[in-house]
Amino acid sequence: MPDALEDVRKWAGQPVTETPIKGGLSHRIARLDTSDGQTWLLRVLDPRVSAAGLGIPLEQEIANTLRAADAGVGPKVLHRMPGALLLEYLDGVTLDAHAVRTLPGPVAAACRRLHAGPRFVNDFSIFRKLDEFLALCRTHGLSAPDGYEDCLPAAAEIERALAADPLPTVPCHNDLLPQNFIRCGPEVRIVDYQLSGNNDPAFELGDIAAEADYDPDLTARLTRAYFGEDDPRLASRVRLNLIMSNLTWTLWFAVHHGLLKEQAADAGFDYDAEAADKFAQAVRDLNDPAFGRLIDDVRGVRPGSPPPPAPPRKEA
Ligand SMILES: Nc1ncnc2c1ncn2[C@@H]1O[C@H](COP(=O)(O)OP(=O)(O)O)[C@@H](O)[C@H]1O
Ligand SMILES: [Mg+2]
Protein backbone atom coordinates (compact mmCIF):
# COMPACT_ATOMS: atom_id res chain seq x y z
CA MET A 1 0.00 0.00 0.00
CA PRO A 2 1.54 3.39 -0.91
CA ASP A 3 2.31 5.62 2.01
CA ALA A 4 -0.49 8.10 2.59
CA LEU A 5 1.90 11.04 2.27
CA GLU A 6 3.03 9.83 -1.16
CA ASP A 7 -0.60 9.47 -2.12
CA VAL A 8 -1.29 13.06 -1.05
CA ARG A 9 1.74 14.35 -2.98
CA LYS A 10 0.49 12.64 -6.14
CA TRP A 11 -3.04 13.91 -5.60
CA ALA A 12 -1.81 17.45 -4.95
CA GLY A 13 0.74 17.37 -7.78
CA GLN A 14 3.25 19.31 -5.71
CA PRO A 15 5.72 18.87 -2.84
CA VAL A 16 4.13 18.44 0.58
CA THR A 17 5.91 18.48 3.95
CA GLU A 18 4.66 16.60 7.02
CA THR A 19 4.83 17.85 10.62
CA PRO A 20 3.61 15.22 13.09
CA ILE A 21 1.10 16.35 15.72
CA LYS A 22 1.36 14.62 19.04
CA GLY A 23 -2.14 14.48 20.34
CA GLY A 24 -4.28 11.43 20.95
CA LEU A 25 -3.02 7.95 21.66
CA SER A 26 -4.36 6.25 18.59
CA HIS A 27 -3.39 7.33 15.10
CA ARG A 28 -0.78 9.08 12.94
CA ILE A 29 -1.87 12.71 12.81
CA ALA A 30 0.11 15.34 10.95
CA ARG A 31 -0.11 18.83 9.58
CA LEU A 32 0.76 18.97 5.90
CA ASP A 33 2.03 22.08 4.16
CA THR A 34 2.10 22.35 0.40
CA SER A 35 4.66 24.32 -1.54
CA ASP A 36 1.93 26.71 -2.71
CA GLY A 37 0.96 27.61 0.86
CA GLN A 38 -2.00 25.34 1.65
CA THR A 39 -2.29 23.55 5.01
CA TRP A 40 -4.07 20.24 5.52
CA LEU A 41 -4.45 17.60 8.22
CA LEU A 42 -3.49 13.99 7.53
CA ARG A 43 -5.15 11.30 9.64
CA VAL A 44 -3.78 7.81 9.03
CA LEU A 45 -5.93 5.34 10.92
CA ASP A 46 -4.17 2.56 12.79
CA PRO A 47 -6.21 -0.59 12.05
CA ARG A 48 -5.01 -2.14 15.34
CA VAL A 49 -7.17 0.35 17.23
CA SER A 50 -10.48 -0.83 15.81
CA ALA A 51 -9.27 -4.45 15.73
CA ALA A 52 -8.77 -4.23 19.51
CA GLY A 53 -12.32 -2.89 19.95
CA LEU A 54 -11.04 0.58 20.89
CA GLY A 55 -12.66 2.27 17.95
CA ILE A 56 -15.42 1.59 15.45
CA PRO A 57 -14.48 -0.14 12.16
CA LEU A 58 -12.42 2.17 9.92
CA GLU A 59 -15.01 2.28 7.14
CA GLN A 60 -17.63 3.44 9.65
CA GLU A 61 -15.30 6.08 11.05
CA ILE A 62 -14.61 7.41 7.55
CA ALA A 63 -18.33 7.45 6.65
CA ASN A 64 -19.18 9.25 9.89
CA THR A 65 -16.37 11.77 9.41
CA LEU A 66 -17.96 12.67 6.04
CA ARG A 67 -21.34 13.10 7.72
CA ALA A 68 -19.93 15.23 10.54
CA ALA A 69 -18.36 17.44 7.85
CA ASP A 70 -21.77 17.73 6.18
CA ALA A 71 -23.19 18.86 9.53
CA GLY A 72 -20.62 21.69 9.46
CA VAL A 73 -18.95 20.58 12.70
CA GLY A 74 -16.24 18.19 11.57
CA PRO A 75 -13.39 19.22 9.27
CA LYS A 76 -14.13 18.95 5.54
CA VAL A 77 -12.88 15.74 3.95
CA LEU A 78 -10.60 16.76 1.08
CA HIS A 79 -9.35 13.37 -0.09
CA ARG A 80 -9.96 9.73 0.92
CA MET A 81 -7.24 7.10 0.80
CA PRO A 82 -7.27 3.48 1.97
CA GLY A 83 -7.28 3.79 5.78
CA ALA A 84 -6.44 7.48 5.73
CA LEU A 85 -8.10 10.85 5.34
CA LEU A 86 -6.91 14.23 4.19
CA LEU A 87 -8.89 16.79 6.15
CA GLU A 88 -9.39 20.51 6.32
CA TYR A 89 -6.88 21.98 8.76
CA LEU A 90 -8.84 23.77 11.46
CA ASP A 91 -6.74 26.79 12.22
CA GLY A 92 -7.77 27.35 15.81
CA VAL A 93 -6.97 26.43 19.38
CA THR A 94 -7.27 22.87 20.67
CA LEU A 95 -9.12 23.05 23.96
CA ASP A 96 -7.97 21.78 27.34
CA ALA A 97 -10.15 20.87 30.33
CA HIS A 98 -10.06 24.40 31.72
CA ALA A 99 -11.23 25.85 28.39
CA VAL A 100 -14.07 23.30 28.15
CA ARG A 101 -15.17 24.38 31.63
CA THR A 102 -15.33 28.01 30.54
CA LEU A 103 -17.23 27.31 27.29
CA PRO A 104 -20.37 25.28 28.06
CA GLY A 105 -22.41 27.41 25.62
CA PRO A 106 -20.24 27.04 22.48
CA VAL A 107 -19.57 23.37 23.34
CA ALA A 108 -23.31 22.69 23.63
CA ALA A 109 -23.90 24.58 20.35
CA ALA A 110 -21.32 22.39 18.55
CA CYS A 111 -23.03 19.27 19.86
CA ARG A 112 -26.47 20.49 18.81
CA ARG A 113 -25.17 21.13 15.31
CA LEU A 114 -23.55 17.70 15.06
CA HIS A 115 -26.68 16.02 16.45
CA ALA A 116 -28.93 17.84 13.99
CA GLY A 117 -26.85 16.61 11.05
CA PRO A 118 -27.09 13.37 9.06
CA ARG A 119 -27.37 10.21 11.15
CA PHE A 120 -24.24 8.11 11.46
CA VAL A 121 -23.96 4.69 9.83
CA ASN A 122 -23.79 2.77 13.14
CA ASP A 123 -25.34 2.86 16.59
CA PHE A 124 -23.37 3.20 19.82
CA SER A 125 -24.27 2.27 23.39
CA ILE A 126 -21.93 2.92 26.29
CA PHE A 127 -23.44 -0.08 28.08
CA ARG A 128 -22.58 -2.47 25.22
CA LYS A 129 -19.10 -0.91 25.05
CA LEU A 130 -18.65 -1.70 28.73
CA ASP A 131 -19.74 -5.31 28.10
CA GLU A 132 -17.27 -5.57 25.19
CA PHE A 133 -14.38 -4.20 27.23
CA LEU A 134 -15.18 -6.54 30.14
CA ALA A 135 -15.22 -9.51 27.78
CA LEU A 136 -11.84 -8.42 26.34
CA CYS A 137 -10.39 -8.05 29.84
CA ARG A 138 -11.62 -11.51 30.82
CA THR A 139 -10.43 -13.16 27.58
CA HIS A 140 -6.97 -11.59 27.67
CA GLY A 141 -6.47 -11.58 31.44
CA LEU A 142 -6.25 -7.76 31.58
CA SER A 143 -6.72 -6.24 34.98
CA ALA A 144 -9.35 -3.65 35.79
CA PRO A 145 -8.88 -1.60 38.98
CA ASP A 146 -9.66 -3.43 42.24
CA GLY A 147 -13.37 -3.38 43.04
CA TYR A 148 -14.39 -2.80 39.41
CA GLU A 149 -16.81 -5.73 39.22
CA ASP A 150 -18.58 -4.51 42.40
CA CYS A 151 -19.80 -1.50 40.38
CA LEU A 152 -21.48 -3.56 37.66
CA PRO A 153 -24.88 -3.84 39.40
CA ALA A 154 -25.00 -0.03 39.63
CA ALA A 155 -24.22 0.23 35.89
CA ALA A 156 -27.12 -2.14 35.20
CA GLU A 157 -29.36 -0.01 37.43
CA ILE A 158 -28.37 3.12 35.47
CA GLU A 159 -29.15 1.35 32.19
CA ARG A 160 -32.61 0.30 33.42
CA ALA A 161 -33.38 3.79 34.72
CA LEU A 162 -32.33 5.52 31.47
CA ALA A 163 -34.36 3.03 29.43
CA ALA A 164 -37.56 3.88 31.33
CA ASP A 165 -38.06 7.05 29.28
CA PRO A 166 -35.41 7.08 26.55
CA LEU A 167 -34.47 10.07 24.41
CA PRO A 168 -34.34 9.62 20.63
CA THR A 169 -30.80 8.81 19.49
CA VAL A 170 -28.80 11.32 17.45
CA PRO A 171 -25.40 11.19 15.67
CA CYS A 172 -23.00 11.43 18.61
CA HIS A 173 -19.23 11.71 18.81
CA ASN A 174 -19.09 9.73 22.11
CA ASP A 175 -15.49 10.64 22.95
CA LEU A 176 -15.49 14.36 23.60
CA LEU A 177 -12.35 14.78 25.60
CA PRO A 178 -11.14 18.40 25.48
CA GLN A 179 -8.50 17.71 22.80
CA ASN A 180 -11.20 16.72 20.31
CA PHE A 181 -12.59 20.29 20.38
CA ILE A 182 -10.94 23.03 18.34
CA ARG A 183 -12.03 26.60 18.89
CA CYS A 184 -12.09 28.61 15.67
CA GLY A 185 -13.20 32.15 16.50
CA PRO A 186 -16.56 32.08 18.27
CA GLU A 187 -17.27 28.56 17.04
CA VAL A 188 -16.19 25.20 18.40
CA ARG A 189 -15.47 22.40 15.90
CA ILE A 190 -15.12 18.68 16.63
CA VAL A 191 -12.48 16.21 15.33
CA ASP A 192 -11.74 12.47 15.71
CA TYR A 193 -14.77 10.26 14.98
CA GLN A 194 -13.15 7.06 16.24
CA LEU A 195 -16.02 6.16 18.58
CA SER A 196 -18.90 7.89 16.83
CA GLY A 197 -22.38 6.41 16.47
CA ASN A 198 -26.03 7.24 17.03
CA ASN A 199 -26.64 7.48 20.77
CA ASP A 200 -28.51 9.22 23.59
CA PRO A 201 -27.46 12.92 23.49
CA ALA A 202 -27.27 12.84 27.29
CA PHE A 203 -24.25 10.54 26.97
CA GLU A 204 -22.49 13.12 24.79
CA LEU A 205 -23.00 15.78 27.46
CA GLY A 206 -22.14 13.47 30.37
CA ASP A 207 -18.96 12.40 28.61
CA ILE A 208 -17.90 16.03 28.04
CA ALA A 209 -18.61 16.76 31.70
CA ALA A 210 -16.61 13.71 32.84
CA GLU A 211 -13.61 14.49 30.64
CA ALA A 212 -13.42 18.15 31.68
CA ASP A 213 -14.17 17.55 35.39
CA TYR A 214 -17.45 19.45 35.50
CA ASP A 215 -19.10 19.80 38.90
CA PRO A 216 -22.89 19.25 39.16
CA ASP A 217 -23.67 22.97 38.69
CA LEU A 218 -21.62 23.24 35.53
CA THR A 219 -23.12 19.96 34.29
CA ALA A 220 -26.57 21.49 34.79
CA ARG A 221 -25.48 24.60 32.83
CA LEU A 222 -24.23 22.49 29.94
CA THR A 223 -27.50 20.54 29.97
CA ARG A 224 -29.51 23.76 29.94
CA ALA A 225 -27.41 25.23 27.14
CA TYR A 226 -27.96 22.10 25.04
CA PHE A 227 -31.66 21.40 25.69
CA GLY A 228 -32.70 25.03 26.10
CA GLU A 229 -34.76 24.19 29.17
CA ASP A 230 -34.14 23.88 32.85
CA ASP A 231 -35.36 20.37 33.59
CA PRO A 232 -33.61 18.72 36.54
CA ARG A 233 -34.50 15.29 35.13
CA LEU A 234 -32.39 15.99 32.04
CA ALA A 235 -29.51 17.16 34.25
CA SER A 236 -29.82 13.91 36.25
CA ARG A 237 -29.78 11.92 33.02
CA VAL A 238 -26.56 13.66 32.01
CA ARG A 239 -25.00 13.02 35.44
CA LEU A 240 -25.76 9.29 35.24
CA ASN A 241 -24.09 9.25 31.83
CA LEU A 242 -21.12 11.09 33.32
CA ILE A 243 -20.71 8.15 35.70
CA MET A 244 -20.97 5.68 32.79
CA SER A 245 -18.31 7.60 30.90
CA ASN A 246 -15.86 7.33 33.78
CA LEU A 247 -16.71 3.70 34.46
CA THR A 248 -16.44 2.55 30.84
CA TRP A 249 -13.44 4.59 29.73
CA THR A 250 -11.56 3.24 32.77
CA LEU A 251 -11.45 -0.02 30.81
CA TRP A 252 -10.45 1.71 27.54
CA PHE A 253 -7.06 2.32 29.16
CA ALA A 254 -6.78 -1.25 30.48
CA VAL A 255 -7.58 -2.64 27.01
CA HIS A 256 -5.36 -0.18 25.13
CA HIS A 257 -2.46 -0.85 27.47
CA GLY A 258 -2.95 -4.62 27.41
CA LEU A 259 -3.67 -5.20 23.71
CA LEU A 260 -1.64 -2.47 22.01
CA LYS A 261 1.55 -2.87 24.02
CA GLU A 262 3.83 -1.54 21.28
CA GLN A 263 1.79 1.64 20.80
CA ALA A 264 1.38 2.04 24.54
CA ALA A 265 5.14 1.80 25.13
CA ASP A 266 5.73 4.60 22.57
CA ALA A 267 3.08 6.87 24.04
CA GLY A 268 4.93 7.71 27.27
CA PHE A 269 1.57 7.79 29.03
CA ASP A 270 0.60 6.47 32.46
CA TYR A 271 -2.36 4.22 31.58
CA ASP A 272 -2.78 2.84 35.09
CA ALA A 273 -2.91 6.31 36.64
CA GLU A 274 -5.49 7.46 34.08
CA ALA A 275 -7.65 4.36 34.63
CA ALA A 276 -7.38 4.73 38.43
CA ASP A 277 -8.36 8.40 38.23
CA LYS A 278 -11.47 7.71 36.13
CA PHE A 279 -12.47 4.78 38.31
CA ALA A 280 -12.06 6.85 41.50
CA GLN A 281 -14.42 9.47 40.05
CA ALA A 282 -17.00 6.84 39.13
CA VAL A 283 -16.82 5.31 42.63
CA ARG A 284 -17.12 8.77 44.22
CA ASP A 285 -20.34 9.44 42.27
CA LEU A 286 -21.83 5.98 42.80
CA ASN A 287 -21.32 6.32 46.57
CA ASP A 288 -22.70 9.85 46.68
CA PRO A 289 -26.04 10.09 48.52
CA ALA A 290 -27.37 11.94 45.42
CA PHE A 291 -27.04 8.78 43.28
CA GLY A 292 -30.45 7.38 44.30
CA ARG A 293 -32.11 10.69 43.48
CA LEU A 294 -30.54 10.76 40.03
CA ILE A 295 -31.97 7.30 39.38
CA ASP A 296 -35.42 8.34 40.64
CA ASP A 297 -35.32 11.53 38.55
CA VAL A 298 -34.70 9.81 35.24
CA ARG A 299 -37.43 7.28 35.88
CA GLY A 300 -39.84 10.26 35.74
CA VAL A 301 -41.30 11.89 32.69
CA ARG A 302 -40.10 14.64 30.37
CA PRO A 303 -42.21 17.77 30.03
CA GLY A 304 -45.07 17.19 27.63
CA SER A 305 -45.08 13.40 28.02
CA PRO A 306 -48.03 11.76 29.71
CA PRO A 307 -47.03 10.38 33.12
CA PRO A 308 -46.17 6.67 32.96
CA PRO A 309 -47.60 4.20 35.47
CA ALA A 310 -45.49 4.20 38.66
CA PRO A 311 -42.58 1.79 38.12
CA PRO A 312 -42.29 -1.05 40.64
CA ARG A 313 -39.64 -0.25 43.27
CA LYS A 314 -36.74 -2.67 43.32
CA GLU A 315 -36.81 -3.00 47.09
CA ALA A 316 -40.58 -3.70 47.20
N1 LIG B 1 -8.62 18.84 11.25
C2 LIG B 1 -7.75 19.27 12.17
N3 LIG B 1 -7.26 20.55 12.12
C4 LIG B 1 -6.35 20.99 13.02
N5 LIG B 1 -5.88 20.24 14.04
C6 LIG B 1 -6.33 18.97 14.16
C7 LIG B 1 -7.29 18.43 13.23
N8 LIG B 1 -7.55 17.16 13.60
C9 LIG B 1 -6.80 16.91 14.69
N10 LIG B 1 -6.07 17.99 15.04
C11 LIG B 1 -5.12 18.11 16.19
O12 LIG B 1 -4.50 16.84 16.40
C13 LIG B 1 -4.83 16.34 17.68
C14 LIG B 1 -5.00 14.81 17.60
O15 LIG B 1 -5.95 14.51 16.60
P16 LIG B 1 -7.07 13.41 16.76
O17 LIG B 1 -7.79 13.33 15.45
O18 LIG B 1 -7.90 13.71 17.95
O19 LIG B 1 -6.19 12.11 16.99
P20 LIG B 1 -6.37 10.84 17.96
O21 LIG B 1 -7.35 9.93 17.28
O22 LIG B 1 -5.02 10.23 18.02
O23 LIG B 1 -6.88 11.37 19.28
C24 LIG B 1 -6.09 17.07 18.09
O25 LIG B 1 -6.19 17.14 19.51
C26 LIG B 1 -5.86 18.44 17.46
O27 LIG B 1 -4.98 19.22 18.27
MG1 LIG C 1 -8.44 12.66 19.66
Burial zone of 268 (CB within 10 Å; 0-12 exposed, 13-18 middle, 19+ buried): exposed
Which ligand does the CA of 269 lie closest to? 1
18 lies in which domain range? 13-90
pLDDT at 27: 85
Same domain, 86 and 100: no
Kindly report, residue by residue over 155-174, the tens digit of the pLDDT. 999 999 999 999 999 999 99
Say how many Å lie between the CA of residue 23 and the centre of ligand 1.
6
Kindly report, residue by residue over 262-305, the tens digit of the pLDDT. 776 666 778 888 899 999 999 999 999 999 999 999 998 444 45
pLDDT at 285: 97
Say how many Å lie between the CA of residue 33 and the centre of ligand 1.
16
Mean pLDDT of 213-228: 97
pLDDT at 303: 44
Q: Which of 56, 90, 124 is the last residue of a domain?
A: 90
Beta strands in 144-257 (DSSP E): 170-172, 181-184, 187-190, 197-199
Same domain, 201 and 122: yes
Cβ neighbours around 161 below 10 Å, total: 20
Same domain, 120 and 200: yes
Kindly report, residue by residue over 21-79, the tens digit of the pLDDT. 987 677 899 999 999 999 999 999 988 888 888 899 999 999 999 999 999 999 999 99
CATH of the domain at 86: 3.30.200.20
Same domain, 119 and 56: no
Ligand 1 neighbours (beta carbon < 6 A): 21, 23-27, 29, 41, 43, 75, 87-90, 94, 179-180, 182, 191-192, 194
Residue pair 106/116 in contact by the 8 Å Cβ criterion: no
Say how many Å lie between the CA of residue 153 and the centre of ligand 1.
36
Q: Which of 40, 68, 90 is the last residue of a domain?
A: 90
Same domain, 85 and 100: no
- Total tally of structural domains belonging to the chain: 2
pLDDT at 310: 52
